[in-house]
Amino acid sequence: MIFTPTESAALAIPTSASSLKALAAGLHARMREGGGSIVSMDFVATVAWPIYDWMGVAKAALESVSRYLARDLGPSGVRVNLVSAGPLGTVAARGIPGFEQLASLWPRMAPLGWDVEDPAPVASAICFLLSDYARGITGEIVHVDGGFHAVGAPGGGLGVAPTSE
């Protein structure tokens, strides 16, 4: 990040964080009478990722914006949540330099495995959050990444013997 131009922040933060606030403000008038749900996409912002730099900072801002929106819109019955998805092979993602290298970690490290070409698990989680089944959930980050966010290093699980020292 030290070598990433500061001007990158001027694009990353409005694209990722400010846009959610603008969307919520635009939808609020329509949603406040009957409630509703707003779901945005996230990428784990609790750690520093290779190649992510200012976009990682922007995702941390997005997470904060979603909590404030959950607070402000909750009394109107509007829920705001994020889905922190594992990497998906979208056109936009493939335009990120180093995406393939980063995405290659998921199939090896995610306890449930991960298919970069299968958006269905992410879509299912979004449908759940938009539905009345999630009517008591707001201000949350739901990780749909095969469990990658929960492990610190590859290995473990059945069939791997613990080491003794």
Which positions are catalytic?
52, 59
The structure tokens listed for 158 are: 């059945």
Return the SS3 of 143.
strand
Cβ atoms of 70 and 137 closer than 8 Å: no
Query: Torsion-angle region of residue 100: left (phi > 0), alpha (psi -120 to 50) or beta?
Result: alpha
Query: 79 — phi, psi (to 5°)?
Result: -100, 145
Strand, coil or helix: 125: helix
DSSP letter string over 9-75? Answer: HHHHHIIIIIHHHHHHHHHHHHHTTT-EEEEEEE---SSPPTTTHHHHHHHHHHHHHHHHHHHHHGG
Distance of CA 71 to the CA centre of its chain: 19
